[in-house]
Amino acid sequence: MSKKAHVETPGPVRKLALVVEFEGTRYAGFQVQPREATVQGELGKALLRLIGEHVKTYGASRTDTGTHARGQVVAFLTARPYPPGVFQRALNAHLPPDIRVRAAYEVPVDFDPRRQALSRTYCYRVWNAPSAPALGRYYLYHLAAPLEMAPMRRAARLLVGTHDFAAFCGAGQPRGRSTIRRVYRARVAQRGSMVCFLVEANAFLPHQVRYMAGALVEVGLRRLKAAELKGLLGGVEAPAGRLPKVPCLPACGLELVRVTYKGFPPELPGGGGGRSDAAPFLGWSEGESCS
């Protein structure tokens, strides 16, 4: 009697959530793009090698070309019975070295990493010194002109609250969609030549963090006043032609730090209880570490 080859029997459909870290320098953002290398594309290829199936992945945030992440959350459905830890180790074996799965969890099948996110936190880093660094140059925006921290910190506090951020929106926002967002925290910190802007909000418009960082840099250079920044927060209702344009800083300095959810495992960035106003803002206070 001939022996039959063993065939793995798929189990019930389940959903896995991954916490993904990546260096975005060579990628055209997270989301799949035609004829472009993307993080989502590389995850799809790794899953195909692992389980032999084309799997659709869903990310919590669509990052820009060249943007980095340490806390992107990605979910997908599978019938494979592998434990989450096996997915983590096996995917890391198939992924390029600039993408890593930091953790893997089984989650309810109705979990949606984008729609169920309570908040997203980004960091923008500026190297403020006469010369650009050799190390870490792909993670920083270099600015030689000296920045004044005190006005930047005051200006960052103006961003907190619910505002119309139309003046901070780049291309990619669908016409007619709301440009109102709620910013929970916005801080500027400095250590040596490193200046960091951290911001947490319920959601962000395309390029919004890079425009906000550009506005704060303009304030630090004394080229933008607090009153003008307040005017920019008036969105589409602001007087046409009277407000200054702020620069959109390069994507290399931007990093998605974490995404928070209600009831998600405490090991995930942001913890299992969702966003808490009483919790430390990434352990920072103004003027402290931005490493």
> Which domain CATH number covers 253?
3.30.70.660
Look at residue 4 in the predicted model and tell me its pLDDT. Answer: 46
Query: Are 84 and 124 found together in one domain?
Result: no
Q: What is the pLDDT of residue 135?
A: 87
250 and 133 in a common domain: yes
- In a domain, residue 284? The reply is no
What was the pLDDT predicted at 234? 76
pLDDT the model gives residue 185:
95
277 is catalytic: no
Q: What is the CATH number of the domain that holds 95?
A: 3.30.70.580
Is residue 268 in a domain?
Answer: no
Is 3 inside a domain boundary? no
Determine, yes or no, domain membership for 277: no
- Tally of domains within the chain: 2
pLDDT given at position 177: 84
Token pair listed for 193? 């030549």
Do 85 and 138 belong together in one domain? no
- Under DSSP, the state recorded for 287 is T
Are 239 and 165 within one domain?
yes
Per-residue pLDDT of the chain (291 residues), as tens digits, is 444 444 455 668 999 999 999 999 999 999 998 889 999 999 999 999 999 989 999 999 989 999 999 999 999 999 999 999 999 999 999 999 999 999 999 999 999 999 999 999 999 999 999 999 998 889 999 999 999 999 999 999 999 999 999 999 877 666 778 999 999 999 999 999 999 999 999 999 999 999 999 999 999 999 999 889 988 997 544 444 555 788 999 999 999 999 999 877 655 544 444 443 323 344 445 544 454
- Of these residues, 64, 98, 110, 112, which one is catalytic? 64
Cα(242)–Cα(151) distance, integer angstroms? 22
Instruction: Give the domain range for residue 72.
Output: 14-107
Residue located via tokens 């309810």:
108
Residues 73 and 123 in one domain: no
Phi, psi of 177 (to 5 degrees): -80, 150
Residue 134 and residue 103 share a domain: no
Say if residue 99 is in the same domain as residue 151: no
In the DSSP assignment, the letter for residue 239 is P
Q: pTM value?
A: 0.86
- Chain position carrying tokens 């919590």: 60
Question: 199 in a domain, yes or no?
Answer: yes
* Cα distance between residue 279 and residue 276, in whole Å: 5
Residue 151 phi/psi, 5° resolution?
-65, -30
Contacts of 34 (CB under 8 A, 6+ apart): none
Q: Are residues 201 and 245 in the same domain?
A: yes
